[in-house]
Amino acid sequence: MTVNLRFSSFTLQLLFASIILLLFAAACDTADEQAGVAYTIPEQPEMPTGFNPKPGWATSEFAVAAANPLATDAGYQIIQAGGSAVDAAIAVQMVLTLVEPQSSGIGGGAFLLAWDGSLVHAYNGRETAPSGADENHFLDESGDPIPFRDAVRSGLSAGVPGTVAMLKHAHERQGVLPWADLFTPAITLAEEGFRVSPRLHGLLEGEEALRHDPIGSRFYYDEDGEARPVGHNLRNPALAEIYRQIAQRGIAAFYTGAVAEDIVARIRAHERPGNMTVEDINNYPDQDFDVDAMCNDWRAYRICGFPPPSSGHIAIMQMLGIMEHLDAPETGFENGTPTAEWLHQYLEAAKLAFADRNQYVADPNFVEAPAGDWQSLLNPDYLRERAMLIGKNSMGSADPGNPEDVLSMFGMMQSQPDKGTSHVSIVDRDGNAVSMTTTIESGFGNRIMSDGGTGLEGGFLLNNELTDLSLRPYDDDGNPIANRVEPNKRPRSSMSPTLIFDRETGDFLASVGSPGGAAIIHYTAKAIVGMYDWGLNAQEAIDIPNFANFNGPSVLEQEMFPAEIIEALRAMGHQIDERALTSGLQAIQVTEDGFFGGADPRREGVVIGE
């Protein structure tokens, strides 16, 4: 079966209609040391490119929401051609690699949740550390961690890419159209070119290390070192060729032969080389991609998310669960923002959740869950105990708890910046739904590009996912960090792809998720609360000003909160840091008439459907 695809001109118009309002330099780190916790606020994911209001989109048959109009359109056309939600997600990912190279791609990893009408499938495409990596991976000759920034921009940070193998596995289970057809949009766009978007241009302009990569410097910049301008038609013949091979020969075309060899050669040629081997890449597809989704009840809803190595679902459900044990403020949301009283409770619950996250959560193949079950962190009795630590004033920062009174042998991981990433939500004509969060970690990953050994212009970026592992293997007392580097280990993630159901009927209600490093957890929680506590539609929920706490200062999206709220939080003892919080939420919710989708006004996403 061949898919007949057409590229709608409206997606291109949409791209040009968006204007960069502001370019902010990454905000300064704020360090906070309270209650023995050394704390650094995570850097912000990708620089903001303004807040462009979006209408929200009502559809009746199906809907696709992704971070770029061309990628969204590819998913739309795949469903129009008879494809399933998983088929559409694969097409979207292949186009995202091309048009949103700063956030995700075939050089990275992804978590995919897929609802088939009766079951939630969870497919784990997280990158792995090379087999030769050990806990000294990021340490210098003196045994100290190398500077974080240097670690990111190196061959050391690259994990073995997982996205392509995971998507193939998902396709074998829930795909409808032939695998090869799902590459048609991306191959066409890679061959014919796509217009550089304002966001991609702005990010390229602000980027330094990619200018030093042998491929990236030629591909994304002109001879004078100027970033390809907005509207420039960028062709990527190397990626088109790689895609043709994967489409025709399957994933062996990525995990063996020229592509695998080129990835390893480029990682090893970097001035800070990594030790990934071709065999590491050859072996990746042999693993088990199926994991059990974690599903938990909250009010009238059943919320399903990804288990460890993601910390996302556990942290979101801890925060929501802890708040259930507090006296709810009379008003949680008014005049477009949460109230100070509600924010106080949320931000305190966040401190408790992040303390547990930093202590316990890591790759379950290496680290045992507290009391042998990750659900111990969500046990209502434990959450009630944790909620009792929240008073009228800020606690400063929180210590981790002891679910089921089991003492942890692990040390607490210090905060490390993590950023980048993209989210895709899809519902197809049969009501099957996807929530996929996908990443190469930092903006433009580790800034190493591979042309897959094609010798053609362009290619794809490699990830720096291993800097989601702790650079430091032990804490100051010599306790091992659960999320330290070990061979073949998957880094802890904050990615929180989420599917929401009616708790009584089991009916599917919504798909939601976001990029944004550790703040993904807060963005996703905000959207869930907005839709299902405050009764907002998906777009209104996404639009709510962002707020976060990573177990230290409370972070509020700059220029979005009224002074009275900030003053009220300060009066409760919160240290307030106002800064850009560039979420990239995408959500699709079921309505009486079909679906309503929202895309984040802080990025370029749209929803397309019928």
d(CA 498, CA 293): 10
Instruction: State how far the alpha carbon of 411 is from the alpha carbons of 265, 453, 472, 473, in Å.
Output: 35, 42, 11, 9
Q: Is the dihedral of CA 366, 158, 244, 262 positive or negative?
A: negative
Task: Tell me the closest approach of the beta carbon of residue 521 to ligand GLY, in angstroms.
Answer: 9
Task: Tell me the closest approach of the beta carbon of residue 218 to ligand GLY, in angstroms.
Answer: 27
Task: Tell me the closest approach of the beta carbon of residue 439 to ligand GLY, in angstroms.
Answer: 4
* 157 vs 511 by CB, closer to ligand GLY: 157
Task: Tell me the closest approach of the beta carbon of residue 185 to ligand GLY, in angstroms.
Answer: 25
d(CA 112, CA 121): 8
Q: Per CB under 6 A, which of residues 200..229 are in contact with ligand GLY?
A: none
* 100 vs 418 by CB, closer to ligand GLY: 418
Query: Tokens standing for 474?
Result: 């032990």
Contacts 24+ apart (CB under 8 A), 218-222: 218/457, 219/449, 219/457, 219/458, 219/459
Task: Tell me the closest approach of the beta carbon of residue 494 to ligand GLY, in angstroms.
Answer: 4
d(CA 263, CA 238): 13
* 305 vs 517 by CB, closer to ligand GLY: 517
Residue of 584, 538, 606 lying closest to 44 (CA atoms)? 584
Q: Per CB under 6 A, which of residues 575..604 are in contact with ligand GLY?
A: none
Q: Give the interface segment with ligand GLY, choosing from 425-433, 452-460, 492-500, 542-550 (CB under 6 A).
A: 492-500
Q: Say which of 11, 421, 454, 524 is annotated catalytic.
A: 421
Task: Tell me the closest approach of the beta carbon of residue 153 to ligand GLY, in angstroms.
Answer: 15
Task: Tell me the closest approach of the beta carbon of residue 497 to ligand GLY, in angstroms.
Answer: 11
* 345 vs 467 by CB, closer to ligand GLY: 467
Q: Give the interface segment with ligand GLY, choosing from 22-30, 83-91, 291-299, 491-499 (CB under 6 A).
A: 491-499
Where b means 16+ CB within 10 Å and e means fewer, 279-289 reads ebbeebbebeb
8 A C-beta contact, residue 153 and residue 445: no
* 213 vs 418 by CB, closer to ligand GLY: 418
* 344 vs 423 by CB, closer to ligand GLY: 423
Task: Tell me the closest approach of the beta carbon of residue 486 to ligand GLY, in angstroms.
Answer: 17
Q: Give the interface segment with ligand GLY, choosing from 97-105, 283-291, 297-305, 490-498 (CB under 6 A).
A: 490-498
d(CA 515, CA 521): 9
498 carries an active-site annotation: no
Exposed/middle/buried for residue 333 (C-beta within 10 Å: 0-12, 13-18, 19+):
middle
* 293 vs 495 by CB, closer to ligand GLY: 495
8 A C-beta contact, residue 494 and residue 418: yes
**94 Cβ partners below 8 Å, 6+ apart?**
74, 106, 182, 183, 185, 186, 243
Quick one: which of 439, 450, 511, 586 contacts ligand GLY (CB under 6 A)? 439
d(CA 531, CA 301): 11
Query: Tokens standing for 212?
Result: 């030093």
* 450 vs 493 by CB, closer to ligand GLY: 493
Establish if 441 lies at the interface with ligand GLY (CB under 6 A).
Answer: yes
Task: Tell me the closest approach of the beta carbon of residue 419 to ligand GLY, in angstroms.
Answer: 7
Task: Report the amino acid identity of residue 101.
Answer: P
* 207 vs 441 by CB, closer to ligand GLY: 441
The residue at minimum Cβ distance from ligand GLY is 493
* 68 vs 438 by CB, closer to ligand GLY: 438
Tell me the longest C-alpha to C-alpha distance in the chain: 65
Q: Per CB under 6 A, which of residues 517..536 are in contact with ligand GLY?
A: 517, 520
8 A C-beta contact, residue 220 and residue 228: yes
Q: Per CB under 6 A, which of residues 375..434 are in contact with ligand GLY?
A: 418, 421
8 A C-beta contact, residue 242 and residue 120: no
Q: Give the interface segment with ligand GLY, choosing from 46-54, 374-382, 488-496, 567-575 (CB under 6 A).
A: 488-496
Q: Give the interface segment with ligand GLY, choosing from 57-65, 204-212, 357-365, 489-497 (CB under 6 A).
A: 489-497
8 A C-beta contact, residue 335 and residue 395: no
Q: Per CB under 6 A, which of residues 448..487 are in contact with ligand GLY?
A: 465, 468
d(CA 608, CA 522): 26
Sheet holding 547-549, edge to edge: 547-549, 554-557, 576-579
Give the DSSP letter string of 263-310: HHHHHHHSSS-----HHHHHHGGGS--EEPPEEEEETTEEEEE--TTB
Size of the site for ligand GLY (CB under 6 A): 11
Task: Tell me the closest approach of the beta carbon of residue 405 to ligand GLY, in angstroms.
Answer: 30
Can you count the helices (H) and strands (E) in the chain? 18, 25
Q: Give the interface segment with ligand GLY, choosing from 153-161, 261-269, 493-501, 592-600 (CB under 6 A).
A: 493-501
Which residues of the shown chain bind ligand GLY in the complex (CB under 6 A)? 418, 421, 439, 441, 465, 468, 493-495, 517, 520
> What is the set of active-site residues?
421
